[in-house]
Structure 1
Amino acid sequence: MVAALVVFVVISGCARGAHPFGGSERVNMDMQEAAERADGILDGVLEEIDPEVKWTHDTTSVGSCDVTRRRAVMTIVSADRRGSFLGVVDRSWRKSGYRIKSINNDPEVPAIFAQTKDGFGVSLIVGGEGQVFFEVDSPCVQESDVAESTTEPTAPTYEGMEHIPRPNIRSPFWSAGAP
């Protein structure tokens, strides 16, 4: 997990206020528009996953000139189905014209890092107990206020809790053992 996060921080460059995956150009939109674009990217990939998974919003982060939206999958994706899950996401992103920047094939903490044509960094990271996280980082944009996402989650929101719990929703397909 630590290695995947280190790779992400190195690849994203957002801590330095730079464009994700390199460069420093500013995109002609504000932070709210970037957050809405990130929501659209997240909505798109989650709609491609069949059978569907249940997800909830994770944190939104705002940097000096960038926005990050996150979602946590609450459906249990078994180790036996994890490769299929990553394959569905990889194909979806390639079909959408995203450039795959890096793939971590570690069996415990696999990850996919991609970039959209308009400079948004997109990642899927499998964390502890197989929980899947999606994250979209905007390129550098104009500063503005950022509202919470208006996309309705398909799992409980866990409002008031300090942390999102581990995945706890079973799927006849995604949670199943060996095919």
Structure 2
Amino acid sequence: MKRTAAVLTAVILANVTLSGCLSGGLPLSGVGRPDMDMQDAAERSDEILDAVFEEIRPEVQWAHGQTTTGSCDVTRRRTVMTIVSKERRGSFLGLIDRFWRKSEYRIKAINKDAEFPAIYAQTKDGFGVSLSVGGKGQVFFEVDSPCVNESEVKDPTTPPNGPAYEGVYPLPRPNVRSDFWSAGAP
């Protein structure tokens, strides 16, 4: 009986440790953001995304990707609809890397793959941010919240700077040309 109780306790502790949340979506002490709910986290994610897109010059066209929720976290996504050529990809990634470092984000990993590069970082308040390049050179941004209190999550309030593509999944490949970002010369 004692052995069964010990095994059960170990399994429960392992599950709580891996998820970072107690059942009901409440963050563990010292893990996550007990001062936030999912809507607060979604709004903070939108602020992070707004800031990075304000930094990109010349401007790129983007659309909202899907918002997803877990048991105690929220993920917001934006997809760049402007064609970023292979020749300009390094400049684009460098711009984002410099902005995130200037913003005191901790760079956790950089994938230097020539075709599918990516940058993974974390904000001081525990939000994971990433930029990844996918098929046809399409650029994706994602913000993952830390564990927060469960709540409803509303759609983003920042309007995209191009077509909204409401109800369209997956989004089309990049289809907007930029004199700068789509250029074939570095």
Give the TM interval when normalised to the shorter protein: 0.7 to 0.9
1:17 and 1:157 map into 2 onto residues whose CA distance is: 34
- From 108, 113, 121, the counterpart of 1:114: 121
Aligned length: 161
- From 124, 128, 135, the counterpart of 2:131: 124
Does residue 104 of the first structure (1) align with residue 106 of the second (2)?
Answer: no
- From 146, 156, 160, the counterpart of 2:153: 146
Partner in structure 1 of residue 19 of structure 2 = 17
Q: Segments of 4+ in structure 1 off by > 4 A?
A: none
Larger Rg: 2
RMSD: 1.5
1:105 and 1:82 map into 2 onto residues whose CA distance is: 11
Q: What SS is found at the alignment partner of 1:94? A: helix
Partner in structure 2 of residue 62 of structure 1 = 69
Stretches of structure 2 that go unaligned for 5 or more consecutive residues are 1-17, 22-28
Stretches of structure 1 that go unaligned for 5 or more consecutive residues are 1-15
On the 8 A contact 2:32/2:126 being kept in 1, the answer is no
Give 1:24 shift: 7.0
Give 1:157 shift: 1.3
Partner in structure 1 of residue 10 of structure 2 = none
1:24 and 1:54 map into 2 onto residues whose CA distance is: 38
Does residue 160 of the first structure (1) align with residue 167 of the second (2)?
Answer: yes
Q: TM-score, normalised by structure 1?
A: 0.87
Identity %: 68
Q: What SS is found at the alignment partner of 1:59? A: coil
Partner in structure 1 of residue 37 of structure 2 = 30
Does residue 170 of the first structure (1) align with residue 171 of the second (2)?
Answer: no
Q: TM-score, normalised by structure 2?
A: 0.84
